[in-house]
Structure 1
């Protein structure tokens, strides 16, 4: 049970000044990419500002996991492995952005193996977020590889890392990946073959809540994500969902 206002009052009423609770998991974020510069720097050449770090940090905080910090690393296997070793000394969960695809400079899987991590899955039939990775280190530490593009990283964070953090915090399995089944305010189409996570926003209608698809141009389209409240989850064999169809909506913001 999560301790909220009512639970706190119950504890006070029965004289429980102290209670035993699950410890909140300790989380850190490693952002890989030699092209990344800090937010207050002016990018030159092929450089880009590191938006993934602040995005993931804010998402964790809004879901009850504040205090995570991020560091930016270059695309070198030894550098990434050294950062993983340092992070494993003091953290339960490590989130790594970038470096998990099949490019020339994608060294994160090699670095994870170099520090003794066991990769349990790498690559998922989903869009966005296909390169997503999970590795275990021993029995109590976890590494999640998130794609470098911010929208893909947010999708993988909500689909894999946040449910794991909730479970590690003591929440029951049925509450670790919240979802609602709501009618579509307008039809949506999808290419078959992969699980599709379509940005969507909640709309209040005369009949109650409904969800409206929000278009996005790429897996780096953060402005579109800013106008969304979550995603519609579409199965690989679904090509079209008509207006009024009940769909699975997964929130990216806590709802009232």
Structure 2
């Protein structure tokens, strides 16, 4: 039996073998949450004109004169008017073009109007040019605004709309099949016999994938019988872009997944990682380049492997710019195995100084899903030391 590989090696091998999901073009209204796969440049200066930032009056400020003749009104959405005289001012609205000849806006709350004359005190103008949003001060035509790999949130969608993109190139959402294996598993709605348990792994993995913006998921179950396992896997490999299996991947008599995948022509990249929990994880590539993640059947192990390997791999295949995990300091000492990378569930809390600390909440076993509801995510501790003092900083990954 080959020795388990390190967490870093597993991560690198997955990255080396993962395909890149293709590109599709979608309407702007359907682009939220998708991964951008094109460069977006400004189609014109922003703002495209000297823009009024406050309701008030626009004038050419001399520095000494504080009384002006009101000569009209400049509304938003209208072509720019012009000052006929340096003694004139124009009433203006937020978002309007700055009238030609004007250089300053005095807000309405600082004004006094009487008999067609606008007056204000000297302190109403702090500087020439106040409350004027100058043309091109945000960006110039041709500036790069969005790069491929960003997730299209509300700010990015607004940028696309501002620059007239009715359609946009995004990563295609992969179809993902999640298969739970085991004779002991029954449906969620079933009343289990004393020797049975309800399915939970595929539902938990599916929820994690949807949280990560991979919504095209189908859930399946198959008993530990070689023909049934091989038949279902062949069907899912035909239909899905990505296959995630949980259970049947260790070294026992009924661990049928590795043999079934080999029979179907799936090339094994690795089997077993030097970590706890999740050591038996298997990864391979099916004909046609489809990735297959075979995770341990223990619930905590399956969820840990999903967050640590599966979701980052899917994000990279979508073209998402990778982000480093958030560093978090331990709130209390922790002892782990010095020979394995350990993933520890933690609850986050604020210290007296306002900093966030991780409080370890170790699972009783790798099947202890219930303890995870009291936690926010997991930290990763390296195999180089068995003891970690309070304040030790570790990478943190949230469950959601």
> Aligned to 1:243, which of 377, 384, 390?
390
**Residue 91 of structure 1, CA deviation:** 1.2
**CA deviation string 1:49-100 (max 9, x = no partner):** 1111211111111121124121110111221111111111221111101000
| Structure 1 counterpart of 2:106 | none
Aligned to 2:168: 19
Q: Which residue of 1 aligns with 2:314?
A: 165
Separation in 2, partners of 1:229, 1:9: 31
Does the Cα contact within 8 Å between 1:150 and 1:220 map onto a contact in 2? yes
With the length of structure 2 as denominator, give the TM-score of the two structures.
0.61
Q: Is 1:43 the counterpart of 2:192 in the alignment?
A: yes
The reply on whether 1:228 has 2:375 as its aligned counterpart is yes
**Alpha-carbon offset, residue 37 of structure 1:** 0.4
**Secondary structure, counterpart of 1:95 in structure 2:** strand
Once residues 173 and 214 of structure 2 are traced to their aligned partners in structure 1, the CA distance between those partners, rounded to angstroms, is: 8
Q: Distance in 1 between matches of 2:191 and 2:383?
A: 41
Determine which of 336, 361, 364 is the counterpart of 1:190: 336
Q: Is the radius of gyration larger for structure 1 or structure 2? A: 2
- The CA distance in 2 between the partners of 1:29 and 1:245, in whole Å, is 36
Q: Alignment partner for residue 239 of structure 2, among 85, 90, 96?
A: 90
Partner of 1:57: 206
In structure 1, the partner of 2:299 is 150
CA apart distance, 1:139: 4.9
| Equivalent residues, number | 250
CA distance in 1, matches of 2:329, 2:196: 42
How many Å separate the matches in 1 of 2:194 and 2:378? 34
Structure 2 partner of 1:200? 346
1:89-115 alpha-carbon deviations (Å, 9 max, x no partner): 221111101000011100000110111
The Cα offsets for residues 94-152 of structure 1, whole Å up to 9 and x where unpaired, read as 11010000111000001101111001011110000010010101353111001111101
Tell me the C-alpha RMSD between the 2 structures: 1.3
Counterpart secondary structure, 2:338: coil
Name 1:211's counterpart in structure 2: 358
Separation (CA, whole Å) in 2 of partners of 1:15 and 1:245: 49
Do residues 81 (structure 1) and 227 (structure 2) align?
no
Distance 2:223 2:164 in 1: 53
**What do residues 9-52 of structure 1 show as CA deviations (whole Å, max 9, x unaligned)?**
11111111001111112111111101110111111142111111
- Please give the alpha-carbon distance, in whole angstroms, between the structure 2 residues aligned to 1:229 and 1:86: 36
Kindly indicate whether the alpha-carbon contact (under 8 Å) linking 1:99 and 1:108 is maintained by their aligned counterparts in 2: yes
C-alpha distance in structure 1 between counterparts of 2:311 and 2:200, whole Å = 19
- Contact 1:24 1:168 (8 Å CA) reproduced: no
Instruction: Single out whichever of 93-102 and 69-78 deviates more from structure 2.
Output: 69-78
**CA shift for structure 1 position 161:** 0.8
**Is the contact made by 1:25 and 1:168 (CA closer than 8 Å) also made in structure 2?**
no
Cα distance between partner residues in 2 of 1:69 and 1:165? 16
What is the rounded CA distance, in whole Å, between the counterparts of 1:138 and 1:9 in structure 2? Answer: 41
> What TM-score results when the alignment is normalised by the length of structure 1?
0.94
Q: Hey, what does 1:121 align to over in structure 2?
A: 270
CA contact (8 A) 2:173 2:216 kept: no
Which moves more between the two structures, 191-200 or 133-142? 133-142
Q: In structure 1, the residue corresponding to 2:170 is in which secondary structure?
A: coil
Q: For residue 171 of structure 2, give the secondary structure of its aligned residue in structure 1.
A: coil
Equivalents in 2 of 1:129, 1:31: separation in Å?
A: 16
